[in-house]
Structure 1
Amino acid sequence: MTSTRGTLPGDPGSSEATERQLELAAAQGDAYRQALDHMAQDVAKAGGTQQVGDYLIGYAIEDAEGMYHLENGKLQWRNPGSANAHVEVVVCDAADGRFIPGLSVSAALVTPDGQELGPFPQELVWHPMLYHYARNWELPQDGEYTLRVHVDPPAFMRHDEINGRRLAEPADAEFDKVTIERGSEPVDPPV
């Protein structure tokens, strides 16, 4: 038997998922949200979230960091070089809180003196705790920035004749007074 319970006020519900399946999806979202809140509030130098339509968009600012990149079939470590900030963006389904993969996400920063940097694409990053979209940035100064995030609607298929009619519009979020303290974490990965 399928559920007709909606996951958001005004949500028409589901023609495919049972109550138990919707509960399991919500539990996934709750676990992801705990990780997101930990990253944004306890680990990052700055962070926050806002709902925009069907999306919950969040950010975290950290020191620029090294990462592995797959090049010619081999993982290569790249330190941040001259980058001095790491901007992470998360995009979740506002209905159940689960991370949305496969998106085209871009971000722009407006410096304290009004210079716009970007927009630049934010790439999907596998993280041991929290999938997110991110990139290292080279910023000219510390201070209060404005972060603008743009999300294109996902191109993936949607299952569910009722609940699948979502995530079809682009979304734009703006976060004001984002305090950024520049820094960098170059490391030597273990051999």
Structure 2
Amino acid sequence: MSTPATTPPRDPTSSEATERQLQLAAAQGKAYREALDHMVQDVADAGGTQRVGDYLIGYAIEKAEGMYHLEDGELVWHNPGDANAHVEVVVCDGADGRFVPGLNVTATLVTPDGRELGPFPQELVWHPMLYHYARNWDLPEDGEYTLRVHVDPPTFMRHDEINGRRFADPVDTEFSGVPIERGAEPVEPPS
């Protein structure tokens, strides 16, 4: 289940940004949230969002997907192989809604019969519509899973003496009753 699209609260005080600059950041966040809601509600097989600490964390479950990987300076296409689910995790700034890059994100899935799979790192994925952290999974069965997401504090610098004091603590969240129907989309890229 997804939370309704709203403008996230933000601290209007800043030592580095003008009101106009903060408005532009909020507009970026609003556009990103519209794309996130579209992914969660209209594209994915299952998805949702939760507010956790300084973040808004979302997920989307789809069929396993092929992707390009950079290997020895060349892009090489990889079909999903034995993978049968694609788990996407989105981490947004809870203040302005923008995507937070450069994070170490891990996910654990708990199967319908209680077995834990993971934690596994979710890698940053460039997507034409929505940056996210994701990986393909090989799941043992269809059914309702529990998804646990862990986000480590980022090591990037924070600009702004007032607003920059954020993203300092690790966060964990859990989504229960996540319906997963396994499948794969081994689509070959255009030649």
Q: Scaled by the length of structure 2, what TM-score is found? A: 0.94
Q: CA deviation at 1:8?
A: 3.3
Aligned to 1:177: 177
Alignment pair present for 1:73 and 2:73: yes
SS in 2 for 1:15: coil
Aligned to 1:127: 127
Q: CA deviation at 1:12?
A: 7.1
Q: Kindly provide the amino acid, as one letter, of the partner of residue 26 in structure 1.
A: A
Aligned to 1:8: 9
Q: Kindly provide the amino acid, as one letter, of the partner of residue 112 in structure 1.
A: P
Q: CA deviation at 1:13?
A: 2.4
Gaps of 5+ in 1: 1-6
Aligned to 1:113: 113
SS in 2 for 1:42: helix
Gaps of 5+ in 2: 1-7
Checking the alignment, whether the CA contact within 8 Å between 1:149 and 1:173 is kept in structure 2 is: yes
Report 1:25-64 matches (<5 A).
25-64=25-64
Superimposed CA distance per residue, residues 107-163 of structure 1 (whole angstroms, 9 cap, x where no aligned partner): 000000000000000000000000000000000000000000000011000000000
Checking the alignment, whether the CA contact within 8 Å between 1:12 and 1:162 is kept in structure 2 is: no
Larger mean Cα displacement after TM superposition, 14-23 or 109-118: 14-23
Checking the alignment, whether the CA contact within 8 Å between 2:12 and 2:19 is kept in structure 1 is: no
CA RMSD, Structure 1 to Structure 2 (Å) = 1.1
SS in 1 for 2:22: helix
Q: Scaled by the length of structure 1, what TM-score is found? A: 0.94
